[in-house]
Structure 1
């Protein structure tokens, strides 16, 4: 029995053949000389007149003939597509992850959609920002994000000081050099916050997505193994279209 995946495998070539037949027929019928023919004979006025051979041109293309060729190619396309769509309506499979059915009897068309979306989601997860590994982070409920432990640092202020290099004498004033000394005046307590995710969480999401994507692909292949419901739609359609 024919399987759905076999129909899918030939659909593209059948579609291309039908398109080619339709295009070729349109081009051929657009060439007026191919549709025209003529036959003429010559008869002189009297027996002694010049004898000329008959002339004829055959009709090379006929509308009905082209319609039959197009009909044959498109009938096959209509049948293949109808068979695929009819079978898609009953082709289902379970999505099974770690031995448990995550979803049962999922339609094959939805499995195809899900496979594409999970692929895009996988790329998104791989680009998620992660917390700086150089810091120690814990989740802060109040801020609803991750935070570091408080770090206390000293705030200093430069205070000018005088350094007497030489005492004053009767002849010379004192030689004084001004320098600045850092004096503690307070303390900064710093807590860093981040909306990034822990690397472990991102890795967990990536692993789960990979498992789910594999499960969906397996399910899609299983659903594509469904025996087809053979449809002969094309003959009925063209029987009506081309009927007398």
Structure 2
């Protein structure tokens, strides 16, 4: 008895061959010359007339034969696809992660859906904002965010100062140069807040996603290993259509 994964493996090839055969059959039926035949003989009006040999062309393509061959090709495709789809209704497996059963008897179609969605969740988590590693962060219950310790910084202000380069004399005024001096005027106390996530938290989620992805793939392979019953849908369909 075949297994579901074996049916899945051959389905693509059967589908491709059926499509090629259908195209070939369609093309042959579109050539009137292949479907046409003729047989004719010549008889002169009298015995002294010119004698011409008979002419004939055989019919090369019988539409009924093409129907029969097409039915045979498509019957194989219909049977393989039916076998797969019928089996998919019963092929199931548990999704188990680290000894914990997350999903019981999940069907193959849902496992395939889950695989695709987990890829998208993985990409989403990898883009989550992460806390700046150069800061020391702690959780702040009052804001439900992360915060740093207070940092006190000096605030200065530029104050102009005069530097006398030369004292005034009776003939010349004093030579004064203006410069600016940074004078402390106060202190800033700064606390930074962030709604981002610690890198550890993001890495934990990614690890769980990868574990679940492996578990889902394992479950899909297990479900696809189920034995199948060959379905004979093609005979019923084409027995009605072309019978």
Gaps of 5+ in 1: none
- Aligned-pair distance for 1:49? 2.6
- Aligned-pair distance for 1:206? 1.3
What SS does the corresponding residue of 1:164 show, helix, strand or coil? strand
* Residue in structure 1 matched with residue 123 of structure 2 by the alignment: 123
* Residue in structure 2 matched with residue 217 of structure 1 by the alignment: 217
- Aligned-pair distance for 1:175? 3.2
Distance 2:59 2:188 in 1: 99
Instruction: Answer yes or no: is 1:110 the counterpart of 2:110.
Output: yes
- Aligned-pair distance for 1:171? 4.1
* Residue in structure 1 matched with residue 22 of structure 2 by the alignment: 22
* Residue in structure 1 matched with residue 2 of structure 2 by the alignment: 2
Distance 1:107 1:78 in 2: 22
Distance 1:16 1:31 in 2: 24
- Aligned-pair distance for 1:172? 3.8
- Aligned-pair distance for 1:79? 0.8
- Aligned-pair distance for 1:224? 0.1
What SS does the corresponding residue of 2:168 show, helix, strand or coil? coil
- Runs of 4 or more, structure 1, over 6 Å off, are none
* Residue in structure 2 matched with residue 71 of structure 1 by the alignment: 71
Q: Which whole-Å deviations, capped at 9, do the CAs of 1:10-62 have from their partners, x for residues lacking one?
A: 10011111111211111110111111000011122233332221110011111
Count how many residue pairs are aligned between Structure 1 and Structure 2: 243
Segment of structure 1 superposing worse, 187-196 or 231-240: 187-196
Normalized against structure 2, the TM-score is what?
0.94
Tell me the C-alpha RMSD between the 2 structures. Answer: 1.6
- Aligned-pair distance for 1:90? 0.4
